[in-house]
Amino acid sequence: MATFGILRRSLSTTTTRNAIKNVTVIGGGLMGSGIAQVAAQTGHNVTLVEVNADILKKAESSIANSLGRVAKKLYKDDAKAVKDSDLIVEAIVEKLEIKHKLFKSLDEAAPTKTIFASNTSSLSIGEIASVTNRKDRFGGLHFFNPVPVMKLLEVVRIPETSEETYQALMAWGKAVGKTCITCKDTPGFVVNRLLVPYIAEAIRMMERGDASARDIDIAMKLGAGYPMGPIELADYVGHDTTLSISEGWHKKFPENPLFNICESQRKLVQQGKLGVKSGEGYYKYNK
C-alpha cells in the first residue's frame, strides 16, 4: 500500500455551527494546502494527505507561515487518514482516471457517514462520483486560487446529492469563511464557464493584433474593475491548466466555438512557458 505523508493541524477558534468537524484533504498542492489552511484556521481537525514528500514539506511550511505551529505524522495507509473523517475534500491532479482510482479506494476505507467532495475545475462531479456507492453523499466544492484570499465557494449538486449532504456542504463552506453559491454539474460550473471563454477571447484578440497583452489587461482592470487582466490571469493560473480545460471541453463539445483552442497558448505550453510558475508565459517573471 502507498505511503502517505499526513499533516495534522487543529485550532479551536470557530464560532460557526456546522456538523463537520474532522476534514481530510487529499492532495497538498496549490489548492489542497490552501483548503487545509482555511479549514484549520476555522477550527476543524484537518488531515492533509499527499503522495509527494517534497510537496508535503512545502505545504507544511506554507501553512506554518500562516498559522505558526504544525505537527506532521506519517501513516502507512489511507484508511487511517480517513477513519474519523466527516468530510473528504479531494484536490489531486485533474485526471478523471486518477480521481476514480482514489475515490474507489476511499469509498472502501471511509466510514458510511463520510461526505465526499471534489475540488475539480472542469470535470463532471457526476462522472467522478460514478465509481462510488455514496452518490447521495457526494458533491463539488470548488475553491478559487489563492484559497485563503478568494471569498467564493461553488457548491455543486449532482441529481443524487441528498438535501442533507447539500446542507452540510453549504454550512461547512460558511464555517470556513466562504460565501457559497449553488450550481448544477455543468461544464465549468459558474465561474470557469464564464472565465475560460473570456480569457480565450482575450488571447484571440491579442493573436489577431487588435491590441497588445498589456493594453488588454489595462483595459479590463480600469474599464471593468477586474483585479487582474485576462492575460495576466491566464499566466497566473497556468497555461497547462487552462489549455487542458479547453482541450477537455473541446473534445467533449466540439460544436461549441466557446471552447476552441488558442494556438499561441498551445505553443507556450509546448515551449514549457506555463506562466508565473515557470517564470514566463505571455509575460516574463522574476522567479
Ligand X SMILES: NC(=O)c1ccc[n+]([C@@H]2O[C@H](COP(=O)([O-])OP(=O)(O)OC[C@H]3O[C@@H](n4cnc5c(N)ncnc54)[C@H](O)[C@@H]3O)[C@@H](O)[C@H]2O)c1
The least distance separating ligand HSC from the CB of residue 101, rounded to whole angstroms, comes to 22
C-alpha closest to that of 32 among 4, 56, 54: 56
Q: Does 124 bind ligand X (CB under 6 A)?
A: no
Mapped onto helix, strand or coil, the DSSP state of residue 141 is: strand
Q: Does 227 bind ligand HSC (CB under 6 A)?
A: yes
**Cα 216 to the center of its chain, rounded Å:** 27
Tell me which of 192, 232, 239, 278 is the catalytic residue: 192
Sheet holding 4-9, edge to edge: 71-75, 4-9, 45-50, 22-26, 87-90, 115-118, 138-142, 152-157, 179-184
Q: Does 145 bind ligand HSC (CB under 6 A)?
A: yes
Q: Which long-range contacts (CB under 8 A, 24 or more apart) does 90-93 make?
A: 90/26, 90/27, 90/116, 90/117, 90/118, 90/119, 91/25, 91/26, 91/27, 91/29, 91/31, 91/32, 91/35, 91/119, 91/143, 92/26, 92/27, 92/29, 92/32, 93/27
Cα-based distances in Å from 87 to 13, 65, 134: 19, 25, 13
The partner in contact with residue 275, picked from ligand HSC, ligand X, none with C-beta cut-offs of 5 to 8 angstroms by kind, is none
Catalytic, 260? Answer no
Q: Does 149 bind ligand HSC (CB under 6 A)?
A: yes
User: Which residue, 110 or 125, is less far from ligand HSC as judged by CB?
Assistant: 125
Catalytic, 121? Answer yes
User: Which residue, 29 or 148, is less far from ligand HSC as judged by CB?
Assistant: 148
- Binding mask 217-246 toward ligand X (x if CB under 6 A, else -) reads --------------------x---x-----
User: Which residue, 67 or 98, is less far from ligand HSC as judged by CB?
Assistant: 67
| CA gap 287, 277 in Å, rounded | 8
Catalytic, 130? Answer no
Positive or negative, the CA dihedral 163, 169, 171, 173 is negative
* For residue 257, cis peptide bond before it (omega within 30 degrees of 0): no
Q: Does 228 bind ligand HSC (CB under 6 A)?
A: yes
- Contact stretch for ligand HSC (CB under 6 A) within 82-90, 177-185, 193-201, 253-261: 193-201
Catalytic, 100? Answer no
- Contact stretch for ligand HSC (CB under 6 A) within 6-14, 107-115, 162-170, 226-234: 226-234
Containing 184, the helix (H) or strand (E) segment is strand 179-184
The least distance separating ligand X from the CB of residue 101, rounded to whole angstroms, comes to 7
Residues of this chain that bind ligand X (CB under 6 A): 26-32, 49-52, 55, 91-94, 102, 119-121, 143, 145, 237, 241
Could you tell me which residues are annotated as the binding site?
Answer: 66, 73, 121
Residues of this chain that bind ligand HSC (CB under 6 A): 121, 144-146, 148-150, 192, 195-196, 199, 227-228, 233-234, 237, 241-242, 245
